[in-house]
Structure 1
């Protein structure tokens, strides 16, 4: 964490702040837990957050070795207005908290069997021109596609993302009712079909279809409503926060503590304490184990779980109080897992951009192996590489290169754990060797393997061990039709009063921006606010601005 963020250890009191609201316990110190704690503390509640790891961040934690610093998970900074809205609710702004850099090109795409990559530029007009150059006539269709994408994105933010759907009345607005036929078509048509009706070039189809992976799904299983994702990269552009995504976590954690949140690390929650039975059941606190193995009890008026929903429901609650017990998960899609690789490379790697995507020729087979009934490791896999060190020198020693590699895999914890220097499960390390060779061959870096000075892998079982992730999913339940919007698991326990849920397992969904929104949905629920719009931002003079500290290297995990 940054110098301004000091974790509160068990037995140490947090900041002395007078509170007028409820006492709240938050389980989990990922972005959704931290943001929830921050918003509730600013509202006046007395908030304590419990995180089982030694530092906060969850999937967005960091690790460093040999002078390299790696973001362990998320590496795309999309939907910047969601982050800025959150910061403004906290009395500050993204400009004051982060140093954002625009990437141009936004990303590079390499295709199996195709020598020339495609660099996706910054901005709508440049991308319309790019598509038209590759496929004459596609530019006009892309302009229409992105106009629809923008309209869908805007209506989603106004009516479907910032709500828990506890009441349908706010949705009975003219802007929703008049669009019902269009919305129904967008929900009932797949993204793959929508893309195929727009472009014919297989490379362009892959560029428009790949955002389904951000949603933990495949283009053939994702509603075309999510073509709105193309607004984020092809129109709005791609940003990067200097210091990486872990810097975003640092700033949110710092703001939470400024608001009075007590953060307790090395605290493993064992159960949610309840009182009463049937409709009178109420959350009263948690039992948790500290770093020395001692069991403790903490009490509160409200319990918020930012942990994996499957874990919360099936491990922290008795069966009779589970709203989403084991039966609920039968037949549902956990989304993909992944092989993650953290590679320190000697020298520069100009052949790769900050974000580089590698698409296999038959990616339908790729998706079938990940999401189909006969789950296997794709051959060759489509994959993603992030190279932050060109833009952000803090991520690697001078003249060297930081690479983060993500290979989507089926959600099979039996594939095992990763490890340092080839010490992970044999199947993962062999796949890692294959992937390094694939990157080297497709990108034209023949000596890549011989230049590695740091190598670490993580696999499906790591997601289970580190994040209690259902089926080893790297993101959370996939955004299929049955697991999107009002059909996704809710934010409030149906059987335990005073128990709320945030994070990627529940509405509105997976990804850092969605997790931030879920924190705001929590605040609305506690207020009894059933509106669908983002909460009004306070005037700049309402709350003091918290200045960002000088950049500091995050602690190793």
Structure 2
């Protein structure tokens, strides 16, 4: 095991989203003096929670996947996901409403039953799914063992028999799009969409995502989909609590304006961090000295706004040739009465699957009509998220990453929202849905840009195309500034809450000069065991 890094360094973490809080918890557990500076008035970033009129909404993430990754993070801190959260498995995992097919498809929670579902919808597809999921599980195991937890600081650690023996297959999975790969196993359009939709979780299209990402189907069709009672706010609260208990200081309403540096004698890294300059909600400016700065903020903003041009590892020219993931129209709806037409998770997919993605990712992007969308109704599982006799409904519509499309309350976004509500009402068979809405809030690309300095107003971050995956994705360390590290969805390993938790662990690996490719041994501080602290 690598020696622990020297204790007592002053560390500033920029951003109190899930990756920032996780990084703070790990570094404070290692014995460092950690300060988190969060621009918003509350922590959580895209995973924050808000309440109104008895409704409580998860603002963003709502699929609890890769449970072993989340549990591993908690075990690094001497606890576990089971101790911190009340997790339930959803059955069915989700419902599919596909244009052109009158009946919904409910995807069950067990692999055996999923195979039976595929076979019932398309004779022979059950056996095809078995092969597909076997491959997905093998690829996922390889990814966790060799790629997701790697900083790619050294490639010699990847020269192992299990990697070298799979090189021909890995090469094919990297070069073939997920779309064509999935369609070699099934022909029914609904089953193809079930295998291809996880590309959206990665901020990309199944027509451009490498088929390596068929591993995502292992997560929802093999492992199943979980839900933390109380919502994803409970996960954020747990990580925040553990960070504070470890000694981290968390300051909200504190926007970082500059990463301060001093010149060094090194040619390779001509500067070193000295701290950050930030502004609090009252308009006053402050300075926080630091030996280490970890930016868990949007990487484009960090590089192009918080550093001078000569110290940028990823300057504007890097972003001009990069691909943003989609933005989103988010709708938070409080609805009177029950909605049995919707499951906890419901996916609505258009018949012209390719055209829908072309609208979002094409050279001349536009908001598709009709649109594919995702609907979450957590009140199907959790009675605490809506008043009695009402439903909590969250709608996500992928749209182009373009802040000029507007945001909350803007005329254009509200017109799109009206059309989305009408489409949901028609496709799901919910009479008079619009008239039953007692609470409505929208959120769009301009809001993502304003609240999170999100590059191009993307809701997720850089898309997981081949050129922006694994060791091709932006690294988690500055090549120009000593002591500057990165965490979050903009950097390795990528998008999503589990990836953000891993990105926090990769900061520890960088500081330890640990080039291993697997998860760190647990716990970070041997012998440390926490009491059960389920909220």
Partner of 1:139: 126
Q: Which of 492, 509, 520 is the matching residue for 2:505? A: 520
The 5 A counterparts of 1:235-384 are 235-276=222-263, 279-384=269-374
Once residues 412 and 221 of structure 1 are traced to their aligned partners in structure 2, the CA distance between those partners, rounded to angstroms, is: 20
CA contact (8 A) 1:490 1:507 kept: yes
Q: Which residue of 2 aligns with 1:389?
A: 379
For residues 31 and 538 of structure 1, the distance between their equivalents in structure 2, rounded to whole angstroms, comes to: 20
Q: Which of 55, 58, 61 pairs up with 1:68?
A: 55
User: Matched residues in 2 for 1:251 and 1:59: separation?
Assistant: 16
CA distance in 1, matches of 2:504, 2:174: 25
Cα shift at 1:20: 3.1
Could you list the runs of 5+ residues in structure 2 that have no partner in the other structure?
A: 1-5
Report the 3-state secondary structure (helix = DSSP H, G, I; strand = E; otherwise coil) of the residue aligned with 2:481.
coil
Question: In the alignment, what sits opposite 1:150?
Answer: 137
Match of 1:453 among 415, 429, 438: 438
- Aligned mates of 1:440, 1:292 — CA distance in 2: 44
Partner residue of 2:78? Answer: 91
1:21 deviates by 2.8
8 A Cα contact 2:86 2:534, kept in partner: no
Q: What secondary structure sits across from 1:153 in the alignment?
A: helix
State the alpha-carbon separation in 1 of the partners of residues 486 and 293 from structure 2.
9
**Correspondence for 1:399 among 389, 397, 401:** 389
8 Å contact from structure 2 (residues 445, 459) kept in 1: yes
Q: Tell me, yes or no, if structure 1 residue 54 matches structure 2 residue 45.
A: no
1:215 corresponds to which residue? 202
For residues 124 and 549 of structure 1, do their structure 2 counterparts lie closer, same or farther at Cα, with a shift above 3 Å needed?
closer
Q: Distance in 1 between matches of 2:38 and 2:252?
A: 5
| Count of aligned positions | 527
Structure 1 residue 532 corresponds to structure 2 residue 517 = yes
Match of 1:227 among 186, 191, 214: 214
1:383, 1:345 → 2: CA distance? Answer: 18
What SS does structure 2 have at the residue aligned with 1:341? strand
Is the partner of 1:298 in helix, strand or coil?
strand
Distance 2:202 2:209 in 1: 8
CA distance in 1, matches of 2:135, 2:81: 28
Separation in 1, partners of 2:501, 2:207: 28
Structure 2 counterparts to residues 412-427 of structure 1, below 5 A: 412-418=402-408, 424-427=409-412
Structure 1 contact 255–546 (Cα < 8 Å) conserved: no
Give the TM-score normalised by the residue count of structure 1. 0.93
Check whether the contact 1:271–1:315 (CA below 8 A) recurs between aligned residues: yes
Superposition deviation, residue 439 in structure 1: 0.7
Which position in structure 2 is the counterpart of 1:33? 20
Q: Distance in 1 between matches of 2:321 and 2:483?
A: 29
TM-align CA RMSD: 1.1
Q: 1:541: how far off? A: 7.5
Q: Structure 2: how far apart are the matches of 1:257 and 1:335?
A: 32
> Paired residue for 2:484?
499
User: What do the CA deviations read for 1:200-224 (whole angstroms, capped 9, x no partner)?
Assistant: 1111111100000000000010000
SS across alignment from 1:212: helix
Counterpart-to-counterpart distance in 2, 1:456 and 1:139: 41
Identify which of 415, 424, 442 aligns with 1:439: 424
4+ runs deviating over 4 angstroms: none
CA contact (8 A) 1:304 1:501 kept: yes
- Return the alpha-carbon distance in structure 2 between the equivalents of residues 518 and 540 of structure 1: 19
> 1:160–1:541: structure 2 CA closer, same or farther, 3 Å change rule?
closer
Deviations 1:297-323 (A, max 9, x none): 111110000000000000000000000
In 2, Cα distance between equivalents of 1:369 and 1:455: 26
Q: Secondary structure at the match of 1:85?
A: helix
Which runs of no fewer than 5 residues in structure 1 stay unpaired? 1-18, 419-423, 551-557
Q: Distance in 2 between matches of 1:261 and 1:441?
A: 49
Answer whether contact 2:83 2:534 (CA < 8 A) is retained.
Answer: no
Q: Deviations over 1:97-130 (max 9, x none)?
A: 0000100000000011211010000011111111
Cα distance in 2 for residues equivalent to 1:367 and 1:263: 40
Question: Partners of 1:393 and 1:368 in 2: how far apart?
Answer: 39
How far the C-alpha of 1:540 sits from its partner, in A, is: 10
Distance 2:132 2:144 in 1: 18
Whether 1:543 aligns to 2:528 is yes
Structure 2 residue matching 1:210: 3-state secondary structure: helix
